């Protein structure tokens, strides 16, 4: 015997079942463009969580809890639907450090609504919910002694932000640790940007498997 269930009713019931947790969201915005890495230039919407387990000098992202909002999985999904006016069904989940909050119930809600999830992580924790594309941007030079890079992360893309601490040996270590198709180096956009860009280009010539990533959203002026 086949039972027909209203799709919208089923979706809402599933959301009620999966979690009553409220997530600390710094901002959600879109439609915009992914500005970095293998999917640069793609239409996306963004879900940015508050809080990070690192404190990197020169970080250009405001992930402080001040001004953040507690949202349920259902509220997050509804906001993503409203933002995604072009029906891209692609959301970049970032932070701060998104693995501090991303879990199986939220993954089920977001992916169940049809969104492909691209996550950007510092690689210190494994995502506790399914993602469709995992970008790891390691910054162990800024780790406190209690934090190390997680083992066996299924990386789709490695993106290394270049400052004076990154050299060929560091890139070789990352390439050996994470086997994937996409390796990017990106100059840190701080007050030494020209120096960082020159260093980045030199590293690409020394290690040609690594490709240049620049923050095109800043260059073209989109969020």
Active site residue 46: yes
C-alpha 93, offset from chain centre: 5
Active site residue 62: no
The residues near 84 (Cβ < 8 Å, ≥ 6 apart) are: 30, 31, 45, 91, 115
Active site residue 217: yes
Peptide bond into 108 cis (omega under 30): no
User: Crossing angle, helix 104-112 and helix 73-83, to 10 degrees?
Assistant: 30
Active site residue 56: yes
Please pick, among 36, 84, 97, 120, the residue that the annotation labels catalytic.
Answer: 120
Please pick, among 14, 27, 56, 75, the residue that the annotation labels catalytic.
Answer: 56
Q: 3-state class of 98 per DSSP?
A: helix
d(CA 223, CA 209): 29
Active site residue 49: no
Q: 3-state class of 128 per DSSP?
A: strand
Please pick, among 32, 59, 132, 190, the residue that the annotation labels catalytic.
Answer: 59
Active site residue 61: yes
d(CA 219, CA 132): 27
Please pick, among 52, 97, 135, 182, the residue that the annotation labels catalytic.
Answer: 52
Place of tokens 């501090």: 100
Please pick, among 46, 49, 63, 115, the residue that the annotation labels catalytic.
Answer: 46
Q: Which residues are catalytic?
A: 46, 52, 56, 59-61, 120, 217
């Amino acid at each position: 015997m086949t039972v027909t269930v209203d799709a919208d009713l089923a979706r809402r019931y599933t959301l009620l079942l999966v979690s009553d947790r409220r997530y600390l969201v710094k901002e959600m915005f879109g439609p915009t463009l992914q500005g970095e890495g293998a999917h640069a230039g793609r239409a996306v919407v963004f879900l940015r969580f508050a809080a990070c387990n690192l404190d990197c000098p020169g970080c250009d992202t405001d992930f402080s809890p001040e001004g953040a909002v507690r949202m349920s999985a259902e509220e997050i999904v509804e906001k993503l639907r409203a933002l995604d006016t072009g029906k891209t069904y692609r959301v970049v989940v970032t932070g701060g450090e998104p693995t501090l909050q991303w879990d199986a119930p939220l993954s089920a809600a977001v992916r169940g609504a049809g969104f492909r999830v691209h996550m950007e992580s510092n690689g210190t924790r494994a995502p506790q919910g399914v993602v469709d594309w995992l970008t790891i941007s390691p910054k162990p030079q800024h780790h406190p002694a209690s934090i190390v890079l997680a083992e066996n992360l299924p990386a789709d893309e490695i993106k290394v932000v270049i400052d004076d601490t990154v050299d060929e040996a560091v890139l070789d270590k990352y390439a050996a640790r994470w086997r994937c198709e996409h390796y990017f180096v990106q100059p840190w956009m701080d007050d030494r940007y020209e120096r960082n860009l020159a260093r980045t280009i030199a590293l690409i010539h020394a290690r040609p498997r690594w490709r240049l990533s620049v923050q095109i959203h800043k260059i073209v002026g989109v969020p």
